Amino acid sequence: MIFKATRLALASAALAVAGFAAPAMAADFTAENPECIAPANPGGGWDFTCRQVGKTMQDIGLIKQTMQVTNLAGGGGGVAFAEVVNKRDSDNDLIVAASTATATRLAQGAYPGNNLNQVRWLASIGADYGVIAVDQDSPYKTLPDLLNAVKADPTSIAFAGGSAVGGWDHLKVLIAAKADGIEDVRKVKYVAFNGGGEAITQLLAGSVQAFTGDLSETKGFIQSGDVRVLAVLAPERLGGEFADIPTAKEQGIDAVGANWRGFYGPGKMSDAAYDYWAKQIAAVYASPEWKKVMEANGLAPLDLQGADFEKFVANSVQQIQDISKEIGILK
């Protein structure tokens, strides 16, 4: 089943963690002008990844200056990927936020060149479970309510997401729809925006009826009371302030969707710079400060660096190709 495949991906990642040894710190490289590209507009998950990791690096003394965050939206991350591959292929000071959405677009042949080996995969920083949410004033109170409306009239419900059509936000809805018995998931209406922040803004404006994204990018809107999360796509309920959010599984819909978060660097980044950044990201992950960020934003553990992360991304791309074919996104 495609839903179990997602759980297996996290399980295999956890096994990989146990055998990992972080790369040694490169003494001959230090980033002079650290920069992180977020391949979406401000407010989404990639933007969150850049800004929170950059802030933590500065807070714990890993970098002396503020991490510059450059928002480069478009093509579900494809514009940023092309920028790095074609124009900044040797920039040792640069890292780029990546996630399951990145792997999804690579899996579906949507990026220029479409070769995951055109960049260097650095490290993960956690996993972010997917959510399906509605405006606080929406008449839909549960995920089955919403999906029943889709069954009755697929044109009546439009889902907004921050990934391109066929991307990870889109796939999450299709996974849930298929689990709920919707056989032709191609009828599910999805509208793509440049990042989760823009997608939620359109939800609140009434342009769409539902939102599909990740918990971290939804958190502020949950706290403000603007949105109601109908389901988190986790194997079981999360803790802390998210404990009241029901899972899809407990509502009878066996759908799990975890979005790993991490970074890649330019393909011709030096080995010294590669080791430096992998070590820096590993130090962030191990810090008490990052553990607080994870808890506050509902991030699940996923700690991979260097070769282990490269293998994990390659495996993620293969699994998403299989999911995409089963659902009908790919032939």
Shared domain check, 105 and 10 = yes
What Cα–Cα distance (Å) separates residue 155 from each residue in 2, 135, 137, 170, 248? 25, 18, 20, 16, 22
Say if residue 182 is in the same domain as residue 154.
yes
Considering the domain architecture, whether residues 83 and 164 belong to the same structural domain is answered as: no
63 and 154 both lie in a single domain:
no
In the predicted model, residues of the chain with pLDDT beneath 50 are: 1-26
Q: Are residues 7 and 87 in the same domain?
A: yes
Residue 138 shares a structural domain with residue 193: yes
Q: How confident is the model at residue 27, as a pLDDT?
A: 54
Q: How many CA atoms lie within 13 A of 108 on its CB side?
A: 28
Phi, psi for residue 7 in degrees, rounded to 5: -65, -40
Tell me: do 147 and 207 sit in the same domain. Answer: yes
Q: Kindly state whether residues 147 and 123 are assigned to the same domain.
A: no
pLDDT computed for residue 19 by the predictor: 37
**Structural domain harbouring 104:** 2-128+258-327
Q: What is the pLDDT of residue 23?
A: 39
Dist CA 100 CA 162 (whole Å): 12
Same-domain status, 105 and 118: yes
Residues 163 and 264 in one domain: no
pTM score of the predicted model:
0.79
Domain count, the chain: 2
Which residue, of 217, 251, 285, is where some domain finishes?
Answer: 251
**CATH code of the domain covering residue 217:** 3.40.190.10
Instruction: Say whether both 135 and 124 belong to one domain.
Output: no
Q: Are residues 152 and 236 in the same domain?
A: yes
CATH label of the domain that carries residue 106: 3.40.190.150
What's residue 328's pLDDT? Answer: 83
Show which of 234, 251, 268 is a domain's final residue: 251
> Where a domain ends, among 251, 267, 296?
251
